[in-house]
Amino acid sequence: MPGVGTKTPRLGMVIDLKRCYGCYACVTACKTENFTPPGVFWARVLKGETGEYPNTVRQALPVLCFQCEDPSCMTVCPTGATYQEDDGVVRVDRNKCIGCNYCKMACPYGARYMVEKWESYFPDGLPLSEYEEYAKNRWEEKSGVGVSTKCDFCFERRENGMEPACVRACPANARIFGDLDDPDSEPSILIRDNGGYVLNPEHGNKPKVYYLPTR
């Protein structure tokens, strides 16, 4: 599994739309791994419908930060808080971020989230449970309030030799993670052999999350 500290790979992901059935396991895994508060979806599943009855198809489209080669969020960042790791993953230095939201406006894929005030998932006014305290602390350690936040392909998991949580959780193996520079990696082969494509290439950001066609 390519990760932090190995020969510098160019990390990317393939999402096989034939396999995805929109169960939200990736979203749940992301939320429980990263303790993102309400309204923050570093991993998201969009759902849509095409065709007319009786030939109607419903399709799920999982999205996340596409870790672009040329990330416009990084270009517009006035403080250098947004940067790229050697492996191509786009991250945010929370100590440099001033919360200007330029990145949020610049990202054509809506992958940036700003949390102005941390909120509990249990809006009952009761004191936080120890787990909510833990979640709050973890969020503030990694991301915090008043700064821009985003998916970083589960940096901490990769540091420990694990795949991103969304990849691990997918029951249909619809997400395949790996080194796009390695022509023999599973994602490279899938992209090459199955017509992998990126969303909205016209933006010119060169996303590193590819999709395989629905059929």
Positions touching another protein (CB under 8 A) are 21-24, 27-28, 31-32, 38-39, 41, 44-45, 47, 49, 51-54, 56, 58, 121-124, 129-131
| Closest distance of CB 23 from another protein, Å | 4
Q: Report the residue number, 126 or 184, with the smaller CB distance to another protein.
A: 126
Task: Identify which of residues 79 and 129 has a Cβ nearer to another protein in the complex.
Answer: 129
Smallest separation, CB 113 to another protein (Å) = 13
CA dihedral 96, 100, 101, 107 (to 10 degrees): -60
Backbone angles phi, psi at 166, to 5 degrees: -65, -35
Q: How far is the CB of 48 from another protein (least distance, A)?
A: 8
Interacting residues of 141 by C-beta distance below 8 A, sequence separation 6+: none
**For residue 149, what is the DSSP state?**
E
Min separation Cβ 121 and another protein, Å? 4
Spatial contact of 27 and 171, defined as CB atoms under 8 Å apart: no
Q: Say which DSSP state 75 is in.
A: H
Nearest distance in Å: CB 21, another protein: 7
Asked if 212 contacts 196 with a C-beta cutoff of 8 angstroms, the reply is yes
Task: State CA 178 to chain mean position distance.
Answer: 14
Cα–Cα distance for residue pair 177/186, rounded to 1 Å: 8
**Closer CB to another protein, residue 41 or residue 83?**
41
Q: Judged by CB, which is closer to another protein: 38, or 161?
A: 38
Which of 31, 94 has the CB closer to another protein? 31
